Amino acid sequence: MKARGIHIRPLETIEDFRMAEEAQRVIWGIRDDTEVVPLHALLTAQKNGGLVLGAFDGDKMVGFLFGFLGRTPAGREKHCSHMMGVIPKWRGQGIGEALKRQQREFALEQGLDLVTWTYDPLESRNAYLNISKLGAVCRTYIRNLYGEMQDELNAGLPTDRFQVDWWIRSPRVASRFSQKATSPQPSLEEVLSRGAEIVNEVALDNAGLPETLSWEPHRNATVIIEIPANFQQIKQANIRLARDWRLLTRALFEEYFEDGYVVVDFLSEVKEGRRRSFYVLEHQPVLNGHGRPQQLTAEDRAAIQAGMDLYNAGQYWECHEALEEVWLEARPEDKLFLQGLIQASAAFHKYLVQKNAVGGIKLLARALDKLTRYGDDYMGLDMGAFKQGLNTCWREIINLGQQHIEDFDPALVPALHWIEAEPS
């Protein structure tokens, strides 16, 4: 694989693995060799289901990635991405993204759908790659994961980390790798216009370094937390301020994650003459063990049935309107689910009626992103088959594009129905 003239490939020779040891020292400024993953461990992982990639300029290694098979606490198989970095002078050229792209292909070939890794949530460059460009999400904050470390990037502070989940088969992630389904990153103003609130007020101190003046624990559906655009600069200039940032953001992220919020986006833009960075968090429902709400009332079921009948009859916009009425009165834990159904119906209206492929692709991706957070029997609906059908349609629409929109087979549109027999 090529990235701006750089060749990405698995490591093969003993010399390759020696270069990987040296790359670790340079990338992370490691001064203690006990913190370097040694040649024999990398080689063994490579030969036993793991992945060790190098990014090469000619025969010189300029980037490095290391991951291996793992399991979630629930026993689900995943790929655990342990290390990924680029030599400092080679950063900003898309090499990190190219390494992750090849890692995704490797994990897909192994039949996996989840890749996880950790990173410092105060490192804006990493956040932009992981959340914004790759489409990972985060709901897990780990305090001082590695204990005290002495390398140049981590010395002097607790090694707090985000653990991110990269659902590599999801439309959210696939859309970031599809040339036909690209969409511009929203601006801060756009996110705020949708009802989001910024949690912490940030201004420059007397030395020109960003500090948080105050914070307000908003409970909007979407909240925004600002972090420094250059945390390493703060560490070098004022370690006490850097520690304040660590402890404040630790408290904020832990509180919001505990309350059911998830990091879904990262914004980096120039405002007021300086680069600023923001995490976007959305509230997601906490489901019970079966992934479904309490029993629906007869009134709720009848209202949903009316929307389903319209959808199954191909009256997608009318379904959108009917389900929106249900959404307005729904419990907070059900709103995101209903919004997913509404967006799925709107997607088919956009595509089949308005003949807008790009709009249909975007709406289907948003619908799937919401619906995949719920169980396959949520509200008693057969969501397993429905989500599978939506995913099939999403991929078919991408493949056909705008030019071949008339070739789409409407029979692919999945029906909505209850799992159990409907009452007579």
Predicted confidence (pLDDT) per residue in 97-151, tens digit = 999 999 999 999 999 999 999 999 999 999 999 999 999 999 999 999 988 876 6
Average pLDDT score over residue span 192-205: 94
| The total number of structural domains that make up the chain | 1
The 10s digit of each residue's pLDDT in 297-352 is 778 888 899 999 999 999 999 999 999 888 888 877 788 899 999 999 999 999 99
Nearest residue to 184 (alpha-carbon basis) of 224, 136, 133, 222: 133
Q: Tell me the average pLDDT across 391-406.
A: 91
What pLDDT, on the 0 to 100 scale, is given for residue 179?
Answer: 55
- The position carrying tokens 């949903």 is 304
Residue 393: inside a domain: yes
Asked if residue 73 is part of any domain, the answer here is no
84 in Cβ contact with 64 (< 8 Å): yes
Domain with 345 in it: 298-418
In whole angstroms, how far apart are CA 414 and each of 118, 312, 383?
37, 8, 10
Assign residue 343 the CATH number of its domain: 1.10.3450.10
Percent of residues in the chain assigned helix, strand, coil, to nearest 5: 45, 25, 30
pTM over 0.75: no
Of 69-73, 221-225, 377-381, the least confident: 377-381
Using DSSP's 3-state secondary structure scheme, residue 59 falls into coil
For 70, list phi and psi in degrees, rounded to 5: -150, -175
Residue with tokens 């005290």: 148
Please indicate, yes or no, if residue 172 is contained in any of the structural domains: no
| Residue-level pLDDT at 272 | 84
Give the per-residue SS3 of 315-355. Answer: CHHHHHHHHHHHHHHCCHHHHHHHHHHHHHHHHHHHHHHCC
The label of the residue with tokens 């007021």 reads 272
Q: What is the residue-averaged pLDDT of the chain?
A: 89
pLDDT, position 287: 45
Beta-bridge mates of residue 65: 53, 84
Query: Strands (DSSP E) along 72-221, which ranges?
Result: 77-86, 114-119, 137-142, 161-167, 197-198, 200-204, 210-215
For residue 12, tell me if it sits in a domain. no
CA–CA dist 424, 412 (Å, integer): 28
Q: How far apart are CA 306 and CA 302, in angstroms?
A: 6
Residue 83: both structure tokens together: 């290390």
Strands 222-227 and 210-215: unpaired
How sure is the predictor about 424, in pLDDT bands with cuts at 50, 70 and 90? very low
Q: Which of 34-38, 193-197, 214-218, 227-231 has the highest mean pLDDT?
A: 227-231
Half-sphere exposure of 82 (CA within 13 A, CB side): 17
Q: What tokens appear for 159 in the block?
A: 């090694």
Q: Has residue 184 been placed in a domain?
A: no
Please list, in sequence order, all residues whose beta carbon lies within 8 angstroms of the beta carbon of residue 215, skipping any fewer than 6 positions away.
199, 200, 201, 248, 252
Torsions phi, psi of 32, nearest 5? -110, 115
Alpha carbon 60 to its chain centroid, in Å, reads 32
What confidence tens digit (pLDDT) does each residue in 249-294 have? 999 999 999 888 999 999 999 998 999 999 999 987 644 333 444 4
Least confident of 71-80, 237-246, 313-322: 71-80
| Average of per-residue pLDDT across 190-211 | 95
CA 100, 103, 107 angle in degrees (round to 5)? 140
- Which residue(s) pair with 393 in the sheet? none
Q: CA-based Rg of the chain, rounded to a whole angstrom? A: 23
Percent of the chain with pLDDT over 70: 93
- The answer to whether 408 and 352 have CB atoms below 8 angstroms apart is yes
| Assigned token pair, 224 | 């925004």
Beta-carbon contacts of 407 under 8 Å, excluding residues fewer than 6 positions away, are 400
pLDDT the model gives residue 325: 87
What is d(CA 172, CA 135) in angstroms, rounded to the nearest whole number?
A: 6
In a domain, 61, yes or no: no
- Count of other CB atoms within 10 angstroms of residue 81: 24
H helices, E strands: number in the chain: 13, 14
* pLDDT exceeds cutoff 80 at 74: no
Is 199 domain-assigned? no
Dist CA 279 CA 223 (whole Å): 8
Residue 1 has pLDDT above 50, yes or no: no
With respect to residue 173, please indicate whether it lies within any of the assigned structural domains. no
Q: Which of 61-70, 301-310, 334-343, 387-396 has the highest mean pLDDT?
A: 61-70
Closest CA to 138 of 289, 282, 325: 282
